[in-house]
Amino acid sequence: MAHTIRLHRVLQAPPERIYRAFTSPAALAKWMPPHGFVCEVLEMDARTGGRFRMAFVNLGTGERSSFGGTYLELVPNTRIRNSDQFDDPSLPGSMTTTVDLRAVVCGTEVHIVQEGVPEVIPAEACYLGWQQSLQLLALLVEAEIPPESTMA
């Protein structure tokens, strides 16, 4: 039976910045891969009905795990819902991931529900990967960079 993964975080960042981190190819490649992996965003058309494709590459072995899907619903700064499917035939089925963002007094409440995770992937491994990714997301979106700051 497929798994459903549920995550909840409060990040010290506005919803706009978090939404941008999910819908910008460069930002997504920076935070989404779990520790030990890099992400290649191969295609991203961040609009309802648009498609995306990416791959996680194991830095140690070079092994690639590619996947893609369709944006089912995009409500700026509020909700991202997409389908997701692995290219590997041993990981069958389609998943649906829903990310809900809600502004709160200290930042943004983030709820993530990933439905249909193939049963061959242990739920605990999926939670671990998401936890690592969300740590990296927090580092990216919670950084306060002064407007006059430039990267030399």
Tokens read off for 55: 């791959």
Tens digit of pLDDT for each residue in 35-78? 999 999 999 999 999 999 999 999 999 999 999 999 999 999 99
> What separation in angstroms does the CA of 75 have from each of 13, 14, 23, 44, 116?
18, 15, 11, 16, 22
Tens digit of pLDDT for each residue in 111-124? 999 999 998 999 99
Cα four-point dihedral sign 135, 140, 146, 150: positive
Place of tokens 């498609």: 51
Domains and CATH numbers, the chain: 3-141 (3.30.530.20)
Distance CA 40, CA 3 (A): 25
**Counting Cβ atoms within 10 Å, is residue 150 exposed (0-12), middle (13-18) or buried (19+)?**
exposed
Is the pTM for the entire model greater than 0.95?
A: no
